Amino acid sequence: MVISLAPHENCTEHLAKFCLQHGVKHIVAFAGGSNSKGDHLSDEETRKAFQNYQSRFTRQVLWEACAALKSYPVAILTGGTKDGVPEIGAKAAKDSGLKTIGIFPSVAKEDSILADLDIAFRVGPFYKSGNWGDESPFWSSVCDAVIVLGGASGTLIEMAHIMKINEGVAKTRAKNPDSDIKFKHIVPVHGLGGVAEQIQFVWAMHEVRDACMPKDIIKNGQGAAQYILTEWGYQTTASRSRHDFLSSNR
């Protein structure tokens, strides 16, 4: 016996309408922990220093990424809740004039949801009561690329799901080289440990990893954004400068 399961709402239709209305062609996600309190550290002073560094580094990376992306038809996707990467990323996007999308599970408390998202989706469970992680399949399917900072089990679920989607992309392209189906790019930014610095070692087809992740270590938001834009075929400021230099020296 086969039972077909489907969401109650047609999320694809809602999101397509939103993107059309605002001229959005690509969705870049920011992935990482909502907050790491440094509980693994032994003393209070070290924990506070870690938290301050984490907050400053996350803010710098995500502001740099949004500054590099703001001239392109991009919207920013986060987990849509307060604290850490979701909140900092959504604020950076807003301040840069980018549209914001939030996707979170039904168990997210009302007072933990960011108030000024341009569009938000509350994802209910398929089985029994809701849990964190219910939103991951939808979140992973929506984004075209993801910048990863730190992260733990929730981030790992999302990255593994994107890897699995990319395996399907690789098989489709192998059968039909003219297919316009594209890989979802995963761009880890080093500096906070976590999933971002281990994702290269997750079990996956090596050709998929090579196609969807940078070969060099990236340590800042500008580099992450430029990698994505270059993979999408945009000529970024950095690539234009290099092109102008080469042209003037021919």
Query: Which of 33-47, 185-199, 224-238 ranks highest by mean pLDDT?
Result: 185-199
For the segment 150-162, the average pLDDT, to the nearest whole number, is 91
- How far is 61 from 204, CA to CA, in rounded Å? 27
For the segment 24-41, the average pLDDT, to the nearest whole number, is 80
Query: Residues 109-153: pLDDT tens digits?
Result: 887 888 889 999 988 887 778 888 788 888 999 999 999 999 888
pLDDT of residue 244 exceeding 50: no
Kindly state the percentage of the chain with pLDDT values over 90: 52
Query: Residues 42-84: pLDDT tens digits?
Result: 778 888 888 888 889 999 999 999 999 999 999 999 998 888 8
The edge-to-edge listing of strands for the beta sheet with 26-32 is 119-123, 99-105, 74-78, 26-32, 145-149, 185-189
Q: How confident is the model at residue 247 (pLDDT cuts 50, 70, 90)?
A: very low
- How far is 189 from 187, CA to CA, in rounded Å? 6
Residue 126 has which token pair? 């398929």
- How far is 177 from 142, CA to CA, in rounded Å? 24
- How far is 55 from 99, CA to CA, in rounded Å? 22
- What pLDDT sits at residue 117? 94
For the segment 231-240, the average pLDDT, to the nearest whole number, is 71
- What pLDDT sits at residue 106? 84
- What pLDDT sits at residue 128? 79
- How far is 227 from 221, CA to CA, in rounded Å? 10
- What pLDDT sits at residue 238? 53
Q: How confident is the model at residue 245 (pLDDT cuts 50, 70, 90)?
A: very low
Structural domains in the chain, sorted by start: 11-242 (3.40.50.450)
Q: How far is CA 161 from CA 98, 156, 174, 246, in A?
A: 26, 8, 20, 40
- How far is 127 from 141, CA to CA, in rounded Å? 20
Mean pLDDT in the chain? 86
- Report CA Rg, the chain: 19
Asked if residue 33 lies in contact with residue 152, where contact means CB atoms within 8 angstroms, the answer is yes
- What pLDDT sits at residue 239? 46
- What pLDDT sits at residue 38? 60
Kindly state the percentage of the chain with pLDDT values over 70: 87
Query: Residues 1-22: pLDDT tens digits?
Result: 676 566 666 778 889 999 999 9
pLDDT of residue 246 exceeding 70: no
Picking from 133, 15, 21, 131, the residue whose alpha carbon sits closest to that of residue 77 is 15
